[in-house]
Amino acid sequence: MNAQPVIKPYVIGLDLGGTNSVFGIVDARGEIKATTAIKTQGYDKVEDYVDACVDALQVIIDQVGGIETIKAMGIGAPNGNYYNGTIEFAPNLSWAHDGVVPLAKLFSERLGGIPVGLTNDANAAAVGEMTYGVARGMKNFIVITLGTGVGSGIVINGQLVYGCDGFAGELGHVTMVREGGRMCGCGRLGCLECYCSATGVARSAREFLEKSQEPSLLREMDPAKITSLDVSIAASKGDALAKRIYEFTGDMLGKACADFAAFSSPEAFIFFGGMTKAGDLIMKPIEKSYNDNVLKIFKGKAKFLVSGLDGSSAAVLGASAIGWEL
Amino acid sequence: MNAQPVIKPYVIGLDLGGTNSVFGIVDARGEIKATTAIKTQGYDKVEDYVDACVDALQVIIDQVGGIETIKAMGIGAPNGNYYNGTIEFAPNLSWAHDGVVPLAKLFSERLGGIPVGLTNDANAAAVGEMTYGVARGMKNFIVITLGTGVGSGIVINGQLVYGCDGFAGELGHVTMVREGGRMCGCGRLGCLECYCSATGVARSAREFLEKSQEPSLLREMDPAKITSLDVSIAASKGDALAKRIYEFTGDMLGKACADFAAFSSPEAFIFFGGMTKAGDLIMKPIEKSYNDNVLKIFKGKAKFLVSGLDGSSAAVLGASAIGWEL
């Protein structure tokens, strides 16, 4: 898939975020040959957004030798539906908040009919890891994205899992705390995301600070403004309370992964996103908790890895990787 | 796969249970053409067991026109490993309790080299439903077997999920109760199986009876001897406490299925095994709890079905279906 000579050597990746839309033209080894970006907002109609995108894209397409060199395009977007190539009711996109927008079709029409695929960011990350990252050669693995929320992309038998409707892989919303769980943005209680996202870690920090009088570097801050990065910095300075917050977070992620193993027995769990910068602080507790909690036949088998994609371009690379699958 | 004319029109299915080994020769429509059985125990060596099996099999193979008419053989067995065709450390099998037994290879050698596949009973049930049962035409579904334990067979993109080691699909061992959960046979606490297997229902009955003085038909019995069938009979007679036991059981199964939906978004959950005889008593609470607890995008989408395979021959049919996949 990615090592063979191809007549069309490039794919386009679009990381469609709430603020910026970042494009990259990528070769089969994951090298970004050209890149550009526009603002995502400020368009009332999706057609205007696509027009602005194509104007920016045309410049870098010309740089690499024209549209003839492009095999396909992949888009990673919030609320992206792979089966239909649509973005559906995306609350943060002005041109897609109250309907179903056929984004893949619109791009394909404007780009000489090349195949265009679209999926959510976490699924794009999973295909990115399989194509260019630490999951190369793996057939069964789970990518867990730890950002503002907790997302996931699941690969089984070498294929991304979309389920019957395209919405599979919402592992941020398995229920971890069934009694007295935290309120989640999805309207339910006790979801993994409420505890293990960056926002969840900040929430844990406020809870831990309230529950005790233990001294901590975090007490010097306005509790409402504490971020997961602050907790990570305090922990790396030896702050005991901050360390326990990461242990608590890792413990819950490990327990969740133990349940996921009972489902698909993956070769690896791959963590992606800003929170992985905490390194061993989060990864060690995850792996320990996993092996303490998982069914005996799975103990010690799974690898716990941090994304192999370069942070700043990971989302574009992930999106572009969808292009190779089309 | 199952509607086309084939030169070898039959597969052999072996339901390898702790007591009996039941064989069937099955056609592509799931009709059992011939059947036989031997005792599973009483053999020290696996070779002796296979010899006895082949002696019995030969009679029914001759009945359908000889080994030339047989495409393949499928085996459903406890502790069966699909990738290796082995049975591994099966505590209840005298000839396989302390090692790895290459059962598929031994059968293939004794049956003229036909392909022989082997998997655990729940996976066999899933392939059986897909080939002959209520999952025909479905690409994404989960079979949950409710018997002495709780097993599962997961199908994604039309393929059974085996994971990296062949042991995926152990959904009876996701953790449902994280604080003060019941002790499970696997050595861990709070597994789905401790609550929702037939044994789990009996355990719930004893707990419910102890916790209150509420009158119940179940109080006429020796608590130690209550079975899930007794609870089901009492409930069908209108016994309020017995009904609540099934509601409790269904509620937990529904919550577990809500988590499974976040993983693979299946089109259907299919329930298999003795406990499904309780019918609406168990199925209605499962579906209600699922829709009450699942993420909004999945609400009302999944079907909740009871196995379409005839109870007495379901296990043989499931095992035989593995043969069509080889």
Do the Cβ atoms of B196 and B150 come closer than 8 Å? yes
Task: For chain A, give the longest Cα–Cα distance.
Answer: 65
Structure tokens at B314: 């379901």
- pLDDT averaged over every residue in chain B: 93
Taking CA atoms, A12 is separated from A54, A72, A74, A76, in Å, by 12, 6, 6, 11
Entry pTM: 0.91
Segment A262-289 shows an average pLDDT of 95
Structure tokens at A312: 């700043």
Question: Tokens 């109870």, residue?
Answer: B311
Chain B positions touching chain A (beta carbons under 8 Å): 139-140, 154, 156-157, 159, 161-171, 173-179, 186-188, 255, 258-260, 262-267, 293, 295-298, 301
Q: Give me the pLDDT at residue B173, please.
A: 96
Q: Give me the pLDDT at residue B11, please.
A: 97
pLDDT digits (tens, 9 = 90+) for A122-142: 999 999 999 999 999 999 999
Taking an 8 Å cut-off on Cβ atoms, the answer to whether A188 and B295 are in contact is yes
Q: Give me the pLDDT at residue A3, please.
A: 52
Segment A3-17 shows an average pLDDT of 82
- Comparing CA positions, the residue from B162, B117, B325, B171 lying closest to residue A158 is B162
- From chain B, pick out residues whose CB is under 8 angstroms from the CB of A156: 156-157, 159, 161, 163
pLDDT digits (tens, 9 = 90+) for B249-268: 999 999 999 999 999 999 99
CA A78/CA A94 separation, integer angstroms: 13
Q: Give me the pLDDT at residue A17, please.
A: 86
3-state secondary structure A81-149: ECCCCEEECCCCCCCCCCCEECHHHHHHHHCCCCCEEEECHHHHHHHHHHHHCCCCCCCCEEEEEECCC
- Comparing CA positions, the residue from A141, A147, A99 lying closest to residue A121 is A147
Segment B222-235 shows an average pLDDT of 96
Segment B87-102 shows an average pLDDT of 83
Q: Give me the pLDDT at residue B308, please.
A: 86
Segment B164-180 shows an average pLDDT of 95
Q: Give me the pLDDT at residue A6, please.
A: 52
- pLDDT averaged over every residue in chain A: 93
Chain A positions touching chain B (beta carbons under 8 Å): 139-140, 154, 156-157, 159, 161-171, 173-179, 186-188, 255, 258-260, 262-267, 293, 295-298, 301
User: Which of A141, A144, A186, A265 best tests the B interface by mutation, with the highest count of B CBs <10 A?
Assistant: A265
Closest A-chain CA to B154? A263
| Beta-carbon contacts below 8 Å between A and B | 128
ipTM of the complex in this document: 0.90
Whether B6 has a pLDDT exceeding 70, the answer reads no
CA A23/CA A42 separation, integer angstroms: 18
pLDDT digits (tens, 9 = 90+) for B44-90: 899 999 999 999 999 999 999 999 999 999 999 988 889 999 998 77
